[in-house]
């Protein structure tokens, strides 16, 4: 990707029009590499300040020449501090992502919807599985030890980044991405890595509008390692392949379709036999993921008031057997014009999510890989009643049944988010607006993680020495974070003379952050299946507690002087006092 002068354009967004989730940013040399799906026919290339281009994919190499954008700069944007300015007044690099761009691919969370849509924005998953957490990096990794993530502001409320995985994309009106530290300087050092200013939809005057929708998504594991399907269980020398019924390695004889014993006999003498041919059970071990999302919204208003209310329910069954997740959100906002000079705004949102997932999926995956190709792995899902699936009778001498691994190590987590903001605007004179708002956000989380107790039989211990009893453990955790951030701001806008304009802001804010975390654990369970801290053999439980409180007072100012509506002088600054 190059500009009109032939110079490479780093950080340009390149995506496939027919598959909105397939996209990336160009490197420092302007180059990119994409795996285009079969239905992909068009590339969409965009970068701030250039005209977005759509090009037909006609070969393995696509060269793009971007031209400078000459569109109108009269558009209004919401920038740092909730300040509304004209696009032409914005002297810092910023990118707007509108509602249509966010929802066109029907992404289930805002973080994934942003991927590939903003030049220079890195959306990196830091966990796997259900609703993974992400890191949002705008200005690169400038610190090896510190925080490099962008600040997230939702309707003038500073919120934790992990809330992006829980927001309903259908609620979002616009996201203004402030790339530079100067653009977000009104937030202080917290926004030194840039900021995402998220504005949700609001009610509009006129007839009530009601919308409802439902989206279903099916996913499957699309890449698995290529494994041996020619030879079965065994560890003999290369020149003398020997079949070993309980071996996980596949250096045995070549498959011949005969019936062979797998595993060792059960205590009652039973044995199991299978056809000595490869099966596809290792690939079919993973479930087809299923996600369902239902949305509802209603808005209306008159000359004095507007309101908007929305709700969403989302549930997901993962590709890892037994893992599931659900989310419920409710949002309400409104505005009331008491007089021409006095306006009241409010917004409140509640989000809850629940996780139920295995705490040992990585080892389960390894156990699947350690299964020879002739073993019908899918038969062993019912390990509680099937003696050949139970750990005491499982064929593998070295690795447990992966279904048992997933079921025996579980964690459940619940998160509840509550954010809100009340704001009062008063205009004593047309040029001056006085604003006072009180944003707040809180998160409560709790959960339980456990490893169930399992004792191997005396017979199993006698015929193999590779397994030890699982004594079991349980851990309960809970915590909360709360932030309240009252702020006062005065904004003065006036045309000083025919050719000069002034937009000046002076403000102060106070922030109080409180956090608490408690964890208590017990090991060596007395009774299997009872996950209570008191159900332990160890005399003393493990316990930890963390408490923190941070207070910050800040003052800030921002002045924009315009000349003939095309040349602007912008000066901004902030000073904070913080105690921890």
CATH number at residue 18: 2.60.40.1120
What's the average model confidence in pLDDT over 484-488? 95
Lowest mean pLDDT among 38-42, 278-282, 338-342, 552-556: 38-42
Beta-bridge partners for 43: 16, 55
Tens of pLDDT, residue by residue over 229-269, are 999 998 866 667 789 999 988 889 999 999 999 999 999 99
Asked if residue 573 is part of any domain, the answer here is yes
Q: What is the pTM of this model?
A: 0.80
End-of-domain residue from the set 47, 71, 95: 71
Asked if residue 76 is part of any domain, the answer here is no
Work out how many domains the chain is built from and give that number.
2
Tens of pLDDT, residue by residue over 355-368, are 999 999 989 999 99
Phi/psi at 111 (5° precision): -60, -50
- The H or E element containing residue 367 is helix 361-369
**CB–CB of 417/442 below 8 Å?**
yes
- What confidence category does residue 296 fall into, taking pLDDT thresholds of 50, 70 and 90? very high
Q: Is 41 helix (H, G, I), strand (E, B) or coil?
A: coil
CA distance 417 to 442: 6
Asked if residue 499 is part of any domain, the answer here is yes
Asked if residue 54 is part of any domain, the answer here is yes
Tens of pLDDT, residue by residue over 298-329, are 999 888 899 999 999 999 999 999 999 999 99
**CB–CB of 257/275 below 8 Å?**
yes
pLDDT at 191: 77
pLDDT at 161: 80
pLDDT at 71: 47
Q: Is 391 helix (H, G, I), strand (E, B) or coil?
A: coil
Q: What is the DSSP letter of 431?
A: T
148, pLDDT greater than 80: no
Asked if residue 127 is part of any domain, the answer here is no
Tens of pLDDT, residue by residue over 91-136, are 666 777 888 888 777 777 787 778 777 777 777 766 666 777 777 7
Alpha-carbon distance values, 192 to 90, 119, 174, 184 (Å): 17, 18, 22, 7
Asked if residue 516 is part of any domain, the answer here is yes
73, pLDDT greater than 50: no
What are the DSSP E strand ranges found in 201-288? 206-219, 259-262, 272-275
Side-chain-side CA neighbours of 44 within 13 Å: the count stands at: 16
pLDDT at 137: 78
What are the DSSP E strand ranges found in 381-431? 409-429
Task: Pull the structure tokens for residue 57.
Answer: 């994919």
Q: Is 89 helix (H, G, I), strand (E, B) or coil?
A: helix
Tens of pLDDT, residue by residue over 43-65, are 888 876 678 888 888 888 888 88
568, pLDDT greater than 50: yes
End-of-domain residue from the set 40, 71, 102: 71
Asked if residue 488 is part of any domain, the answer here is yes
Task: Pull the structure tokens for residue 232.
Answer: 């079965």
Could you tell me the residue range of the domain that residue 558 belongs to?
411-579
Q: Which of 8, 4, 1, 15 is nearest to 121 (CA)?
A: 15
Task: Pull the structure tokens for residue 187.
Answer: 């937030």
- What confidence category does residue 90 fall into, taking pLDDT thresholds of 50, 70 and 90? low
What's the average model confidence in pLDDT over 467-482? 95
End-of-domain residue from the set 44, 71, 98: 71
Q: Is 543 helix (H, G, I), strand (E, B) or coil?
A: strand
Asked if residue 47 is part of any domain, the answer here is yes
What's the average model confidence in pLDDT over 132-161? 76
pLDDT at 69: 63
Task: Pull the structure tokens for residue 254.
Answer: 């070549």
Determine how many CB atoms are found less than 10 A away from the CB of residue 467. 17
pLDDT at 203: 86
């Amino acid at each position: 990707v190059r500009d009109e002068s032939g110079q490479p354009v780093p950080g340009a967004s390149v995506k496939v029009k027919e598959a909105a989730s397939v996209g990336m940013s160009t490197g420092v040399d302007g180059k990119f590499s994409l795996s285009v799906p079969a239905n992909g026919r068009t590339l969409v290339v965009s970068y701030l300040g250039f005209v977005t281009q759509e090009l037909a994919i006609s070969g393995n190499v696509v060269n793009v020449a971007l031209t400078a954008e000459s569109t109108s700069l009269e558009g209004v944007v919401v920038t740092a501090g909730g300040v509304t300015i004209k696009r032409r007044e914005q002297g810092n690099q910023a990118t707007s992502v509108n509602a249509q761009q966010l929802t066109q691919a029907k992404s289930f969370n805002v973080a994934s919807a942003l991927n590939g849509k903003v030049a220079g924005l890195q959306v990196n998953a830091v966990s796997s599985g259900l609703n993974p957490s992400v890191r949002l990096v705008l200005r690169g990794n400038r610190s090896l030890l510190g925080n490099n993530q962008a600040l997230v502001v939702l309707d003038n409320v500073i919120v934790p980044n992990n809330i992006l995985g829980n927001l309903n994309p259908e609620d979002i009106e616009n996201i203004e991405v402030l790339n530079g530290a100067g653009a977000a300087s009104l937030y202080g050092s917290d926004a030194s890595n840039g900021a995402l200013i998220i504005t949700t939809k609001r009610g509009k005057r006129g007839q009530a509008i009601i919308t409802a929708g439902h989206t279903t998504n099916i996913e499957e594991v699309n890449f698995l390692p290529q494994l041996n399907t020619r030879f079965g269980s065994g560890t003999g020398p290369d020149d003398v392949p020997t079949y070993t019924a309980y071996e996980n390695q596949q250096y045995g004889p070549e498959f011949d379709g005969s019936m062979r014993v797998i595993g060792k006999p059960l205590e009652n003498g039973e044995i199991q036999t299978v056809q000595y041919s490869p099966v596809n059970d290792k690939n079919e071990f993973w479930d087809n993921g299923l996600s369902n999302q239902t949305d509802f919204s209603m808005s209306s208003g008159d000359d004095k008031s507007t309101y908007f209310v929305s709700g969403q329910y989302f549930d997901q069954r993962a590709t890892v057997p037994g893992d599931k997740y659900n989310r419920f959100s409710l949002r309400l906002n409104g505005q009331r014009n008491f007089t021409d000079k006095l306006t009241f705004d409010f917004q409140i949102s509640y989000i809850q999510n629940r996780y139920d997932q295995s705490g040992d999926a990585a080892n389960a995956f390894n156990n699947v890989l350690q299964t020879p190709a002739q073993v019908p792995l899918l038969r062993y899902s019912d390990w509680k009643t099937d003696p050949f699936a139970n750990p005491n009778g499982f064929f593998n001498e070295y690795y447990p049944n992966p279904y048992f691994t997933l079921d025996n190590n579980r964690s459940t987590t619940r998160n509840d988010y509550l954010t809100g903001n009340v704001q009062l605007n008063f205009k004593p004179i047309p040029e001056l607006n006085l604003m006072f708002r009180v944003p707040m956000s809180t998160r409560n989380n709790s959960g339980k993680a456990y490893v169930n107790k399992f004792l191997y039989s005396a017979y199993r211990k006698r015929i193999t020495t590779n397994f030890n009893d699982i004594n079991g453990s349980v851990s309960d955790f809970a915590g909360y974070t709360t932030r309240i951030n009252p702020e006062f701001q005065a904004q003065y806008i006036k045309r000083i003379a025919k050719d000069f304009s002034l937009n000046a802001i002076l403000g102060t804010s106070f922030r109080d952050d409180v956090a608490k975390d408690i964890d208590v654990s017990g090991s060596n369970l007395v009774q299997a299946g009872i996950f209570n801290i008191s159900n332990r053999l160890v005399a003393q439980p493990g316990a930890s507690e963390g408490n923190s409180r941070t207070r910050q007072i800040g003052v800030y100012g921002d002045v924009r002087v315009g000349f003939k509506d095309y040349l602007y002088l912008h000066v901004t600054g902030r000073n904070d006092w913080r105690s921890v």
